[in-house]
Amino acid sequence: MSTSPLASARLHHLADLVRRRSGLRLAVEHGERIASKLQPVADRFGFRELGALLGELEEEPDELSRAVVEAMATHETSFFRDPAVFAYLRDSVLPQLMAARLVPRRLRLWCAAASTGQEAYSLAMLLDDAGVFAEGWKVDLFVSDFSRDAVMRIKEGAYSDYELARGLPAPLRARYCVPSESGRWHMVDGLRRRLRVHCFNLLDNLGWLGELDLILCRNALLYFAPDIRLETLVRMTGILAPDGGLVLGTTETVQDARLYLPVAGAPRGVYSKNPALMRRAG
């Protein structure tokens, strides 16, 4: 993409739009990378040149703006990404939460920025293995992303061989996946209908989620502008139970959101507002 002054001004407008609508920080110095992400949107909306798309974008037409913003996000994900984190959820966090919630027998969890769903299905498999579905617990497993394509894929719950090979152990594939005529594998209905899937932007009001026991928001906030990342983390404290857990990506920290503390002995990225309470629950 050309970096003439005009193009550069348009790139800065694009970065501003993306920031306002998603929180994502766009590196305008990487014009080529931005161009390669814009190209499929240009093709879809019938623009012959990216310059024309950027020009039209200055008016911020809703559908085009939304498609462009969604295209700027990174959707990299896999089943049981960072296995040590999922092992910790299985062996420590879930048993502790279940012990602490024995009386209402209710768990409320949110997989935020879930991309195409592998993370959410991984979590659902852990919950199933822990017996919460079979033993009559009321489980609210909210799963969301702001990308409409990603949300469609979560709802569909169908994955290629390649996607399954990235992190899903063979015994779990045998238990939870059924082959389909399209050559892909479908998550069994019993698992798929446990997910409450929503198209949701992290910048929007979190109130509808109610109080949550566990929030997974992994590998999304690291792409946000620092001030919006901090503000989002702070808003999340408002819906996290006092002994609840927040799980970020292993390379992410809560930075200045000092209401969260790292859980001692947990892999990087696991936080709680009160780690002592979280440990005592076990």
Ligand X SMILES: C[S@@+](CC[C@H](N)C(=O)[O-])C[C@H]1O[C@@H](n2cnc3c(N)ncnc32)[C@H](O)[C@@H]1O
For ligand X, the closer of residues 4 and 74 by Cβ is 74
43 contacts: CB under 8 Å, gap ≥ 6? none
180 versus 251: smaller Cβ distance to ligand X: 251
| 32 class by beta-carbon count within 10 Å (0-12 exposed, 13-18 middle, 19+ buried) | exposed
Q: Which two tokens stand for residue 222?
A: 């690291």
Q: Compare residues 15 and 100 and give the one whose CB is closer to ligand X.
A: 15
Pick the closer one to ligand X by CB: 244 or 249. Answer: 249
CB-CB contact of 119 with 157 (8 Å): no
The single-letter DSSP state of residue 207 is G
Based on the shown chain and the rule CB under 6 A, indicate whether residue 22 belongs to the binding site for ligand X. Answer: yes
Among positions 81, 101, 153, 192, the unique one binding ligand X when judged by CB under 6 A? 81
Three-state secondary-structure class, residue 26 = coil
Check residue 151 for interaction with ligand X (CB under 6 A). no
Which window, 4-12, 35-43, 50-58, 142-150, contacts ligand X (CB under 6 A)?
142-150
Which CB sits closer to ligand X, 100 or 214? Answer: 214
Closer by beta carbon to ligand X, 123 or else 139: 123
Residues 247, 253, 29: CA angle, nearest 5 degrees: 115
Binder to ligand X among 54, 107, 150, 263 (CB under 6 A)? 150
What's the min distance (Å) between Cβ of 118 and ligand X?
7
Instruction: Based on the shown chain and the rule CB under 6 A, indicate whether residue 218 belongs to the binding site for ligand X.
Output: yes
Residues facing 144 on adjacent strands: 198
Spatial neighbors of 186 by CB under 8 A, at least 6 apart, are: 156, 157, 158, 177, 178, 179, 180, 192
- Asked if 77 is part of the footprint of ligand X (rule: CB under 6 A), the reply reads yes
Q: What is the DSSP string of 119-161?
A: HHHHHHHHHHHTTTTTTT-EEEEEEEES-HHHHHHHHHTEE-H
Residue 215 found at the interface with ligand X (CB under 6 A): no
Number of residues that bind ligand X (CB under 6 A): 24
- Residue 219 in contact with ligand X, rule: CB under 6 A: yes
The site string for ligand X over 101-130 (x = CB under 6 A, - otherwise) reads ------------xxx---x-----------
Q: Which is nearer to ligand X, 100 or 172 (CB)?
A: 172
Half-sphere exposure (Cβ direction) of 32: Cα atoms closer than 13 Å: 0
65 touches ligand X by CB under 6 A = no
Q: Does 76 bind ligand X (CB under 6 A)?
A: yes
For residues 226 and 155, give the distance between their C-alpha atoms in angstroms, rounded to a whole number.
Answer: 31
The 158-159 sheet, strands edge to edge: 158-159, 185-187, 177-179
Q: Does 146 bind ligand X (CB under 6 A)?
A: yes
Task: Output the smallest distance, CB 59 to ligand X, in A.
Answer: 22
Per CB under 6 A, 147 contacts ligand X: yes
220 forms part of the interface with ligand X (CB under 6 A):
yes
Contact 93, 269 (CB under 8 A): no
Site for ligand X, rule CB under 6 A: 22-24, 73-77, 81, 113-115, 119, 145-147, 150, 201-203, 218-220, 249
